[in-house]
Amino acid sequence: MSRLPPEPDLLAALATADLEIEGRLRGASNATLRCTLDVAGEKVRCVYKPVAGERPLWDFAEGTLSNRELATAAVDRLLGWHLVPPTVWRTDGPAGPGMCQLWIEESEHGQAVVDVVRPDQVPEHWHVVLHAEDEGGRPVALVHADDAQLHAIAVLDALVNNADRKAGHILSDGNRLWAIDHGVTFNADDKLRTVLWGWAGHPIAEPLLSDLGRVEPDIAEAMAPWLTAEEITITQARIATLAHEGSLPLPNERWPSIPWPVF
């Protein structure tokens, strides 16, 4: 698909158009189906995650992962960052209600923004997240680019308390970055787990900080359809802290800070 349909048409189709299943993403932890649908005469791919296909987790209420995807998309939309692909709730689908999101086609020419390299081969201006050893005992470093969109994703993750920001959850379509897979967000406990710790303790870019302050009064309403009152209250406190302190958080020593696998 070379051009996206107008957003109102796209959102309406994601919510109501008939889905034709192409297949299941076998590497996904929960049922994740790639589908096609018709938008104003154009075939568009999407990701459909039915609630019925969610695997229960000990630390998240059962049947709420799609809600958390919708809450993250709502917060991103309120901020005006457009990091999360268009995302809607479907009341029905081939496997029942769930989340439906525009499929992002990764470009073969997109440049990686997270990598594992030899310590002496870290690209200039990139951030080192950690040093480790590969399966042969040789030293390696987990690194990420110093990129404005990637920085915005790191701030969004801190706000929504993303417990699973893997490198593979950051996609490039050749023009820009997209952030996907937000089912384990908004936990009442601090569970931030990410490959983007290179900015830990660093100042949040001023335009992003301004956006946080701008949306603080309205964020509860944006999340209200999808989260519990406790989760909303804690997220309000989190955005207030980010806006006041003006910096990204440091890893929580009581919780694994790096997702596994990182890719």
pLDDT in tens, 211-253: 999 999 999 999 999 999 999 999 999 999 999 999 999 998 8
Q: With contact defined as beta carbons under 8 Å apart, do 64 and 187 qualify?
A: no
In a domain, 252, yes or no: no
Angle, CA 193 vertex, CA 75 and CA 77 arms, to 5°: 10
Rounded percentage of the chain residues whose pLDDT exceeds 70? 98
In a domain, 57, yes or no: yes
In a domain, 85, yes or no: yes
Q: With contact defined as beta carbons under 8 Å apart, do 55 and 111 qualify?
A: no
Cβ neighbours of 148 (radius 10 Å): 11
In a domain, 250, yes or no: no
In a domain, 201, yes or no: yes
- 1 has pLDDT over 50: no
In a domain, 115, yes or no: no
Task: Report which of residues 9 and 180 the model is more confident about.
Answer: 180
In a domain, 104, yes or no: yes
Query: How many separate domains does the chain show?
Result: 1
| Tokens encoding 149 | 């969109």
Supply the pTM of this predicted model.
0.95
Of 158, 128, 131, give the one whose Cα is nearest residue 144.
128
Query: Which domain range does residue 74 map to?
Result: 7-108+145-245
